[in-house]
Amino acid sequence: MVLKPANGVKFIALLVVVVATILRQPELLQQPRFFAEEGQSFFAFAYNHSLWEYLTSPMYGYYTLYNVIATSIATLPRLEIAPLVTAYLAMGVQIAASAMALWRDVPILDTDLKRFLAAVSFPLICPSQIWLTTIGVQYWLCVVSALILLERPAQRTRPVHLINGAILLLNGLTGVLSCLMIPAFFWKWKRLGSKQHLAYAGVLSASLTLQVAVFLRAYLKHDLGVDERLVAGNPAIDVIYHSTILFLSRFLLHGEVMDLPIYDYLDRGINYLVYLAAGRPLFPQDEAMYLLASVALAALLGAVLYRRRNDFDCLALAVSALIVFSVSVVLSIRGIGGHRYMFAPACMLMLLMISSGVESVSGRLGKVAVVLIVALMFVSNVMDYRPSMSRVYNGSWPKWEEEVRSWRADRAHALNIWPPPWEMRLD
């Protein structure tokens, strides 16, 4: 079989994504580990109960179908390799998201370069906390839903529409993030008369109905994790402010980049100017730079959206990013937000920036600004790509095989998992 040139380029691009995924922390694909709730709650329940009990016992106030499927499959081989099963199943979803950016007919990704940059950007901006673990799959599936939303209507065969519907059903039943895109699917149907998107909105609406029922049941029963989502740890205005600047600034100022001397000099200079103007310091360390980066990116996004105000896909993407971001932060544990809640909307804004290109702004200065900011987005995340894994990977943390041996010798032993001091108990 001879590959068409376009497909050959896409396969090479996908190979780059796969290699980059492996190289971020190769040990995770060789040495088994369960991460946090993935082991303590999901795998333990799958191991200790029947599949039917698992399917009818949602945890944390929402249904997570992919987690149920993945951890149930992980119970089938030897216990010693069970975490590898979930790691590879999580990796499959991550690769699939990039593959969809490469192969699906998404009008705003109208060149091979844009498709490649989109495919590569997903793993680059993925927080280490949800890397190669099934508890992070719902965030990746929201990105997949966004790509289905952006597909050109009436250009696919009936089997593809059925596959899309099945994917959206899985996405909608694996957390609630994809369900938050229902308004965008209805909007696309109303705007373009796309019956496929009306059907997709119906699938997600049915999923949302189930998710709401699960949440209400969990709330009334005070199930694990539900009350924590309804109690804010900080005043709402503080949460919104800090989450917003963290969300926007992470595109430009990421981890290792903030350690460069130039950023420290800039931060001190800005704080000094603020002190001269206000008579007192207003920002803690680094916050001035975060705020400046956020304002710069917000201004550029505003200019891009204004220029593309008649482009439905760009507006739908921006609105969906705003909804997913806002609801994710509000319903996060103790209302404090965090990088994992920002991943899906960050991918949507990255798609918007990549798809816009220099033609979306007027003037030489505007075009230079777009190129510089998109380039800085990639440089910043590339620099932090591997170093960020130190937050969730440590070679001295418990070895799964050793924990299994201890458990086989004493069934009362609690298996230590990552990160310490998480543990799980098996019957």
pLDDT one-digit tens code per residue, 252-293: 776 666 677 777 777 788 777 877 787 777 777 777 788 888
Average pLDDT, the chain: 87
Q: Is 90:21 a contact under the CB 8 Å cutoff?
A: no
Beta bridge partners of 173: none
Average pLDDT over residues 114-133: 94
| % of the chain beyond a pLDDT of 70 | 90
User: Is the pLDDT reported for residue 416 higher than 90?
Assistant: yes
Q: Where are the domains of the chain?
A: 5-263+276-424
Average pLDDT over residues 112-136: 94
- Give the H/E segment covering residue 415: strand 415-416
- What pLDDT was estimated at residue 224? 66
User: Is the pLDDT reported for residue 44 higher than 70?
Assistant: yes
User: Is the pLDDT reported for residue 68 higher than 90?
Assistant: yes
Average pLDDT over residues 36-53: 96
Query: What's the pLDDT tens digit per position in 75-122?
Result: 999 999 999 999 999 999 999 999 999 999 999 998 998 999 999 999
- What pLDDT was estimated at residue 235? 60
Using CA atoms, how far apart are residues 227 and 235, in angstroms rounded to an integer?
17
pTM of the model: 0.91
Average pLDDT over residues 52-59: 93
Which whole-number Å values give the CA distances from 350 to 19, 123, 360, 377, in the listed order?
Answer: 21, 12, 14, 9
Average pLDDT over residues 236-255: 73
- What pLDDT was estimated at residue 293? 81
Residue 63 binned pLDDT confidence (cut-offs 50, 70, 90): very high
Which has more confidence, 290 or 71?
Answer: 71
Q: Which residues contact 206 (CB under 8 A, 6 or more apart)?
A: 169, 172
Q: Which of 232, 231, 233, 222 is nearest to 61 (CA)?
A: 222
